[in-house]
Structure 1
Amino acid sequence: MILIGRVSTSDAVAGSVRVTFADRDDMVSGELPVITPGGWGRGNAIPLPGERVLCVFLDNGRSAGFCLGTYFAEDDPPSGTKDQRGVWFEDGSYVYYDRTAKRLNIKGTGGMKIEGDLTVTGIVSADVFNTKGGV
């Protein structure tokens, strides 16, 4: 069974959510694991309370299921353009690649922290540096 609902609670540590289903008399699910891409670069994007999600249940009850994730809707369109892929954050920060411009764009509204060795190859524009005790 596939149902659409809204997240009522989320648990980032467990990677799960509880979901309320308005079309089922506001029934609340048990803890549902959130499906994420696997492999060597796992994400931690757990849907937040209030977000719309798509859920799938393995039986007619609501005891065994998964949250497949959020989805875009008319009142909540995706950020960027069709040629941009990345992550846009609520504070205005972003990391995205623009395939038309062939450019990786990064903005940290609260600054950026880079740990470890850093190698820059290419031309560096003079206007990109703010001399706060550094280059």
Structure 2
Amino acid sequence: MGVSEEITALKNIVRVGTVSSVNAANRTARVNFADKNNLVSGPLKILKNPPFVTADAVELTYGVEVAEGHTHAGKAEKHAHQIKIFPWVPLVGDLVLCIYLPNGESDGFVIGGI
């Protein structure tokens, strides 16, 4: 296999595209690949990954000191809030990195957002 053929094979394995639909219950997404004549993939499995937690959520989880000058019921105090954390699932319109198995089939995965 020559260098040109290897690059072509790699371009078919690793792809960047835009999410066109998501099935959160099945953890799959369909992705549009502009560089492949706007080809839309079949359902690609979304890899398992740690939940997406924002800095604000982390502060709420562990409780934060109320900022100086701000009060709760007239006094500054530490407090905590319950939050729900969900595994990351891309949104429609997100740019994602996908990887396909090199078996000639359409088996592929969304491995993360860009």
TM range (shorter): 0.5 to 0.7
The higher-RCO structure (CA 8 Å, 6+ apart) is: 2
Q: Which of 27, 33, 49 is 2:92 aligned to?
A: 49
**2:35 maps to which of 13, 17, 23:** 23
1:17–1:34 Cα contact (<8 Å) kept: yes
TM-score (norm 2): 0.54
Structure 1 residue ranges without an equivalent (≥5) = 72-135
Distance in structure 2 (CA, Å) of the matches to 1:5 and 1:60: 20
Amino acid in structure 2 at the alignment position of 1:68: I
RMSD over equivalenced CA pairs, Å? 1.8
Q: Give aligned pairs, total.
A: 68
Partner of 1:97 in structure 2?
none
Q: Which residues of structure 2 form unaligned runs of 5+?
A: 1-12, 51-84
How far, CA to CA, are the matches of 2:37 and 2:23 in structure 1?
24
Equivalent AA in structure 1 for residue 88 of structure 2: A
How does the TM-score come out when normalised to structure 1?
0.46
The answer on whether the counterparts of 2:49 and 2:88 sit within 8 Å (CA) in structure 1 is no
Cα–Cα, structure 1 residues 9 and 62, in superposed 2: closer, same or farther, change >3 Å? farther
Structure having the higher helix fraction is 2
Structure-1 residue corresponding to 2:113 = 70
For 1:62 and 1:3, how far apart are their aligned partners in 2? 15
- Which structure has the larger Rg over C-alpha atoms? 2
Deviation at residue 63 of structure 1 after TM alignment: 1.0
Per the alignment, residue 33 of structure 1 pairs with: 45
Corresponding letter in the other structure for 2:110:
C
SS of 2:93's partner is coil
Q: Distance in 2 between matches of 1:13 and 1:59?
A: 27
One-letter code aligned to 2:102:
D
Matches within 5 A, 1:107-122: none
8 Å contact from structure 1 (residues 37, 43) kept in 2: no
Tell me the CA shift for residue 37 of structure 1.
Answer: 2.0
The C-alpha deviation readout for 1:86-124, integer Å capped at 9, x for no partner, is xxxxxxxxxxxxxxxxxxxxxxxxxxxxxxxxxxxxxxx
Return structure 1 stretches of 4+ with deviation > 3 angstroms: none
